Amino acid sequence: MGVYIKKYLWHNHKKPLLSSWQLTLLDNESIPFIALVALMLAYAQARLWTIIRYGVRKVTRPIQLADNENPTSLSRLTQKDAILELFAALFNIGKRANKSRSMATISPWFGVGAIINFLVFVVLGALVPWALTGGLETPVVQTDPTRRISSMYTAEYVARPPRQTPMDRWLERDDQTPSKMYQKCWFNITDGVADVCEDERGILLDRPEVHSSRGGKCPYFKDACITGILPLQLEYINLTVRDLGINSNSNQLLSRRLTCAPLNITEFLRPDESSNTTWIQFGDISNLTVPSSNLEWHQLRQQITFADGRRRLDIDHPTKFQQTQATPSLQFWEEPSHRVIENMNPEGDDAELFVALFDAGGAVYNRPIDDPLFSAHLKLKTGYVTRYLPDYDYTAIACLEQQRICVPGNGCTPYTYYTSMLRQCLWLGKCPSRDLSQCYPDPKEFEKWKDFKVDGLLEACDTLVGLGKVSRKMYGQSPAVMLASSQPDLDNGIESRITTYIDPVEQWTLEVKAWFETSLLSARQIALKKGFQGSFVSEIVIGDTPHYVGKYLPSGKSGVGVLLKDGDYTNIDFAGFLLTIVAVIFIAGLSHARRIKYGLIWVYGKMDLFRSVVSRLCLRTSSFEMEPPSRTNSINSVSSQTPLQPGQQQRRESDLHVQVDGVELGAPPQAALSW
């Protein structure tokens, strides 16, 4: 999957700000990087010894001549010699190194400092690379948003489906299905994942907390649930899009709720006298006829052989119940059928109702089972072995599924069902007005959505189409995977299915929780398969017309990566790496403080000399640019300013006579006096 992974620097929005920048490298690329970190630490260790040596000299103040160039000077003391001197002083072994040193006595504190320095960097040499690379955890990487993992669900995609990519094949492996991942890694684990899954790659990211409670009303009709068994409500509260595997800084918060309870299946039995069989019919239970022409109604019923849904005695073996080799299975209605029963809750909950039907098949148990889904109290004793047969061929669980999205500053949607939210996306996308009262002429609809702004819902739609819901996940499996497993059992020549690993009291609650958490893993798998090239595109059918939600979402969004685990890569904490570099530079700078000081003084002197030279050049240039004054003008100006006496005038004129080789020259003409 390497071609689909974002390499080098990227931003993981799921992590805290300081550690959110990740440097992703292939494993073979990370080896030189770790070697570089080790070299930096080794250099820092050597420079820190210089600082320690200087500090010990200042504290102990040894008597020493100021000759740093001497090989025996303390300023050239190595860590090895310091440690040997310490051992010699403590254990009086070996020849003390200071006997060969003519300049000073070496204090044992040098050895103590050298040992501490060595041990600290031995620990740092192991911890720093470990911390920077995340230890032994399988790294969380991001798909490259610039690469298309799989084509979008468009008309072109439907006409010409693309070939399977390596990622598609990997995700569709049997051990990578969400159900198998849950059973292997999350089942019977209160927090985190099982030890065998620590290195598991793929969709197994963090595990959000599931809030569980018992109580409330029956998710179906009031009398349809088994009396005395409280409904189970499971809820994810305020999930972020990052919990779904989407690497986005979106502040949308998603809450999901699932309420389930076992059904009294006798409320849904419809006898068919023409064939002497019985039908299980969900939907409008007031309808006593068996509709055979309506396809959707047909998908909401199941024909069973035994009257009243209970195993009937075999004619040839009146002491035994009829045996069957069928494997116990859990089945859900096909997806088109849920549109018929989504409004069957009499309380008017805005939720989606789905029903799970358990077919006991040839199940047998080693002990009585009180769980309403797997109920078994009918004894079957053969020799010294006692088995227990299921009380009913079929049992059922009804569930209501709801979702809500909150966008800070835009409010929260009401709790509603998945398809209803997508319809709101379509409706608001077509609505020309940002006034919800104009978009919802129906007062009842407006009342439900009035507190949520249009822009907030349009933003939420981008997340909605990527969600995995419980019913959709279960519709795709026929039969669905159960936690309770069975294996063939041959007893007196009759093969049956013995069911093991089952809670005899409340196995149904474990099954429901498995559905709920598996749907989250399914959502992450959907995100990977769709690839996030821009916004999600999802199709819903209203009437007979398919609609693509992505068309109505805000355009111009950049691609968003999807998070997954992949052991072929190594993540480097980029902020931690920068901090390591800064620490090494600081230690190196501190160790060279005196040289830096002298260097700065030298630089300052050179700069001062440069300024002086520049100043002189500027002064000389300015003197050349000035025009010299005329000598005649100067004389005239002096004459005009100060009147001369007759004697002074005569002397001044005589000053203009020049003698050359004893010959007196007269005063030059007036024009010759100018420069």
Give the pLDDT of residue 23: 83
237 assigned to some structural domain: yes
Same domain? For 108 and 163 the reply is no
Q: What is the DSSP string of 522-557?
A: HHHHHHHHH--SSS---EEEETTEEEEGGGGSPS-P
**b/e string for 614-644 if b means 16 or more Cβ within 10 A?**
eeeeeeeeeeeeeeeeeeeeeeeeeeeeeee
List Cα–Cα distances, 411 to 254, 256, 405, 460, in angstroms: 12, 16, 9, 11
Instruction: Decide which of 654 and 146 is more confident.
Output: 146
Q: How far apart are CA 211 and CA 329, in angstroms?
A: 28
Same domain? For 262 and 324 the reply is yes
601 assigned to some structural domain: no
Give the pLDDT of residue 663: 43
pLDDT in tens, 462-501: 555 445 667 665 655 545 566 766 555 545 444 445 555 6
Instruction: Decide which of 314 and 350 is more confident.
Output: 350
Percent of the residues in the chain that have a pLDDT greater than 90, as a whole number: 0
Q: How far apart are CA 116 and CA 118, in angstroms?
A: 5
Q: Mean pLDDT for the chain? A: 67
Work out the pLDDT band at 368, boundaries 50, 70, 90.
confident
**b/e string for 664-675 if b means 16 or more Cβ within 10 A?**
eeeeeeeeeeee
Give the pLDDT of residue 156: 41
Give the pLDDT of residue 540: 39
- The end-to-end CA distance of the chain, in Å, is 91
List Cα–Cα distances, 343 to 228, 427, 505, 525, in angstroms: 25, 20, 31, 29
**b/e string for 90-128 if b means 16 or more Cβ within 10 A?**
eeeeeebbbeebebbebbbbbbebbeebeeebeebeeeb
Q: What is the DSSP string of 122-153?
A: HHHHHHHHHHHHTTTSPPEEEB-TTS-SS--S
597 assigned to some structural domain: no
613 assigned to some structural domain: no
Same domain? For 464 and 355 the reply is yes
Same domain? For 278 and 356 the reply is yes
608 assigned to some structural domain: no
Same domain? For 314 and 401 the reply is yes
Cβ(530)–Cβ(150) below 8 Å: yes
pLDDT at position 338 over 80:
no
Same domain? For 656 and 576 the reply is no
Same domain? For 550 and 578 the reply is no
Percent of the residues in the chain that have a pLDDT greater than 70, as a whole number: 51
Work out the pLDDT band at 172, boundaries 50, 70, 90.
low
Tokens at 442, concatenated = 């129906």
pLDDT at position 34 over 60:
yes
Same domain? For 310 and 413 the reply is yes
pLDDT in tens, 101-140: 444 567 778 778 778 888 888 888 888 888 888 776 778 8
Directed axis angle between helix 454-464 and helix 418-430, to 10°?
A: 130
Instruction: Decide which of 515 and 61 is more confident.
Output: 515
Helix (H, G, I), strand (E, B) or coil at 515: helix
Query: Which whole number is the average pLDDT over 344-364?
Result: 69
Out of 344-353, 428-437, 483-492, 657-666, which region has the weakest mean confidence (pLDDT)? 657-666
Same domain? For 132 and 205 the reply is no
427 assigned to some structural domain: yes
Boundaries of domain holding 356: 155-565
Instruction: Decide which of 91 and 548 is more confident.
Output: 91
Number of CB atoms found within 10 A of residue 517's CB: 21
Cβ(268)–Cβ(282) below 8 Å: yes
Query: Which whole number is the average pLDDT over 309-331?
Result: 49
Give the pLDDT of residue 661: 44
pLDDT at position 146 over 80:
no
Instruction: Decide which of 269 and 430 is more confident.
Output: 269
Q: How far apart are CA 192 and CA 206, in angstroms?
A: 7
Q: How far apart are CA 351 and CA 338, in angstroms?
A: 11
541-549 contacts at long range (C-beta below 8 A, 24 or more positions apart) = 542/423, 542/426, 547/426, 548/153, 548/154, 549/422, 549/425, 549/426, 549/429, 549/461, 549/464, 549/465
Number of structural domains the chain divides into: 3
Cβ(50)–Cβ(58) below 8 Å: no
85 assigned to some structural domain: yes
Give the pLDDT of residue 315: 38
Same domain? For 63 and 208 the reply is no
96 assigned to some structural domain: yes
Element (H, E) at 232: strand 232-239
- Going by DSSP bridges, is the β-strand pair 363-364/494-500 parallel, antiparallel, or unpaired? parallel
Out of 68-72, 126-130, 299-303, 372-376, which region has the weakest mean confidence (pLDDT)? 299-303
Alpha helices in 227-373 (DSSP H): 295-299, 338-341
Helix (H, G, I), strand (E, B) or coil at 454: helix
Same domain? For 132 and 159 the reply is no
Work out the pLDDT band at 234, boundaries 50, 70, 90.
very high
Q: How far apart are CA 261 and CA 14, in angstroms?
A: 35
Same domain? For 561 and 577 the reply is no
Work out the pLDDT band at 153, boundaries 50, 70, 90.
very low
Work out the pLDDT band at 233, boundaries 50, 70, 90.
very high
pLDDT at position 24 over 70:
yes
Out of 54-58, 170-174, 419-423, which region has the weakest mean confidence (pLDDT)? 170-174
Cβ(308)–Cβ(276) below 8 Å: no
Work out the pLDDT band at 422, boundaries 50, 70, 90.
low
Q: How far apart are CA 2 and CA 166, in angstroms?
A: 10
